[in-house]
Amino acid sequence: MGLVVQKFGGTSVADAERITAAARRAIRAKLAGHQVVVVVSAMGHTTDELVNLAYQITENPPKREMDMLLSTGEQISIALVAMAIHKIGHDAISMTGGQVGLYTDSAHTKARIKQINAERIFKHLKAGRIVIVAGFQGVTEEGDITTLGRGGSDTTAVALAAALQAERCEIYTDVNGIYTADPRIVPKARKLDRISYDEILELASLGAGVMHSRSIEFGKKYRVPIHVRSSLTDEPGTMICEETTDMEDIAVRGATVNKNLARLTLMGVPDRRGVAARIFQAVAEGNVVVDDIIQNPLPDNRANISFTVALSDFNEAKAIADNLNQEIGGLGVVYDDQVAKVSVVGVGMRSHTGVAAKMFQALAEAKVNIQNISTSEIKISCIVARDEADDALRRIHSAFALDAEDEA
Ligand code: ADP
Ligand code: ASP
Ligand code: MG
């Protein structure tokens, strides 16, 4: 039997009882003949509390120190899970990201994994131990601790599964699997038995917090079968797998909303060659990730250029936009930090027509104004006012018959 990686999210290690349950699950897999690597998140809301603490000290915490602070959450849970396994009478060892040789770049608070040296893990597995790895964290070549972005333990788990050539990666969380939409916002959302890498990658990038989007990039690239399931039951959850032809039968697999967005508009920038290049070069140099870009021509050879960014990058983006406005002779900058994006996703969109029309109709019936539209082969997204976003999502969900009661 092969190696399995089991990842337990914050709720699944929230207290001593849940930690013991996670330990038991790992032991069960070991007794079934697997080699077992466990990846854990920080307990409960620990990471949020640490973030909060930092902002009580300063509104602008240095990112390196933020990583030093946030990585402590996972260090607590790995030690406790290892202790729980020992207590039940099995051998386990806890390891930090640095100790397992998980190397990242130095983009503190959103570092990317560059390399994993799996030898130390293999050595302990061979010795019969369950290896407990701290999720969400890595180390730079210089030895500085980094973190992979909020929700990043999923990425640690799938990247390790790829590096160790695991048979599968099991993601244990507080829902029964991946749903047609976030069940907290859409109570009628339905659990999916299967979803393709491309679909969950789009959904995760567009705001579905159930999986860290970078984890799916690893899963897809290295073909890691990922099983997302509840840590409270033994019910099967959702399999993230390669696309099969019958997946195109349904136009829309799921819907999602991203409420952590802000939009900046550079007004009346001179409409000439090289201006857009200059703007987005400056934004990239500030390490700000741009979401959508919209350019509208104006009279007098000028244009409005809008772009959306994550709310967490808003302050940095604002400073960059103000500087750019001066530099390129624009007519001012307008901000809106009250926007959201609702999206529908499905590989079936490649072969079904009328998906956009149906989505716009649902939004019109909900009296929601569409501020911008963007599409790809397998998704359609609309920017809307944030306070209308949840209702918009529910309306769209019903319009595409994703509601549980419509399943026949
Ligand atoms: P963990 O701590 O286990 O990583 P997360 O809070 O990161 O858990 O992710 C699980 C949560 O993701 C669920 O409680 C749910 O509210 C949210 N979620 C968002 N979109 C979806 C979706 N499409 N399907 C299931 N859960 C979703
Ligand atoms: N503890 C980290 C967070 O809350 C990482 C994770 O849970 O995946 O974002
Ligand atoms: Mg998570």
37-53: pLDDT as tens digits: 999 999 999 999 999 99
- Looking from the CA of residue 173, the nearest atom of ligand 1 is 3
Which ligand sits nearest to residue 47's alpha carbon?
Answer: 2
> What residues line ligand 2, using a CB cutoff of 6 Å?
9-10, 41-42, 47, 73, 135-136, 150-153
Distance 317 CA to ligand 3 centre (A): 26
- Please give the mean pLDDT across all residues of the chain: 96
Contact 296, 355 (CB under 8 A): no
Token pair in block for residue 200:
């969950």
- Taking CA atoms only, the protein residue closest to ligand 1 atom 17 is 210
pLDDT of residue 287: 85
Strand partners, 286: none
- 206 CB burial (10 A radius; 0-12, 13-18, 19+): buried
Average pLDDT over residues 223-238: 97
Angle at 156 between CA 153 and CA 162, to 5 degrees: 145
pLDDT band at 408 (very low <50, low <70, confident <90, very high): very low
pTM, two decimal places = 0.94
* Helices 197-205/213-222 angle, 10° precision: 160
Distance 182 CA to ligand 1 centre (A): 7
pLDDT digits (tens, 9 = 90+) for 79-108: 999 999 999 999 999 999 999 999 999 999
> What residues line ligand 1, using a CB cutoff of 6 Å?
9-12, 41, 151, 173-175, 178-179, 181-182, 184, 208-210, 254
| Residue to substitute in 74, 182, 396 for testing ligand 1 pocket (most ligand atoms within 8 angstroms of CB) | 182
Percentage above 70 pLDDT, the chain: 99
Token look-up 């201006």 returns: 275
Of the chain, the end-to-end C-alpha distance in Å amounts to 38
Token pair in block for residue 128:
């019969």
- Taking CA atoms only, the protein residue closest to ligand 2 atom 9 is 150
Torsion, Cα of 225, 216, 169, 171 (10° steps): -120
- SS3 at position 141: coil
Residue 142 pLDDT greater than 80, yes or no: yes
Q: What is the DSSP track for 1-27?
A: --EEEEEE-GGGGSSHHHHHHHHHHHH
Residue type, 190: R
pLDDT band at 406 (very low <50, low <70, confident <90, very high): very low
Average pLDDT over residues 212-221: 97
- 405 CB burial (10 A radius; 0-12, 13-18, 19+): exposed
Contact 392, 181 (CB under 8 A): no
The set of residues, in sequence order, having a beta carbon less than 8 Å from that of 406 and lying 6+ positions away, is none
Strands of the sheet with 130-134, listed across from one edge = 92-95, 130-134, 35-40, 3-8, 168-173, 226-230, 238-241, 194-196
Average pLDDT over residues 276-286: 95
- Looking from the CA of residue 8, the nearest atom of ligand 1 is 3
Residue 393 pLDDT greater than 80, yes or no: yes
Token pair in block for residue 193:
């038995």
Average pLDDT over residues 231-256: 95
Strand partners, 270: 302
Distances from the Cα of 262 to the Cα of 243, 302, 341, angstroms: 33, 23, 10
Token look-up 């994550």 returns: 310
pLDDT of residue 365: 95
Distance 63 CA to ligand 3 centre (A): 21
Residue 202 pLDDT greater than 70, yes or no: yes
The set of residues, in sequence order, having a beta carbon less than 8 Å from that of 277 and lying 6+ positions away, is none
Integer Cα distance of 384 and 338 in angstroms:
9
| Residue to substitute in 175, 176, 188, 393 for testing ligand 1 pocket (most ligand atoms within 8 angstroms of CB) | 175
Task: Report CA torsion sign: 110, 131, 73, 71.
Answer: negative
Average pLDDT over residues 178-206: 97
Residue 384 pLDDT greater than 70, yes or no: yes
Integer Cα distance of 303 and 297 in angstroms:
4
HSE-up of residue 362 (Cα within 13 Å, Cβ side):
24
pLDDT band at 407 (very low <50, low <70, confident <90, very high): very low
Beta-carbon neighbours within 5 Å of ion ligand 3: 9, 151
pLDDT of residue 405: 67
- Looking from the CA of residue 10, the nearest atom of ligand 2 is 7
pLDDT of residue 168: 97
pLDDT of residue 277: 95
Distance 38 CA to ligand 1 centre (A): 19
Residue 368 pLDDT greater than 90, yes or no: yes
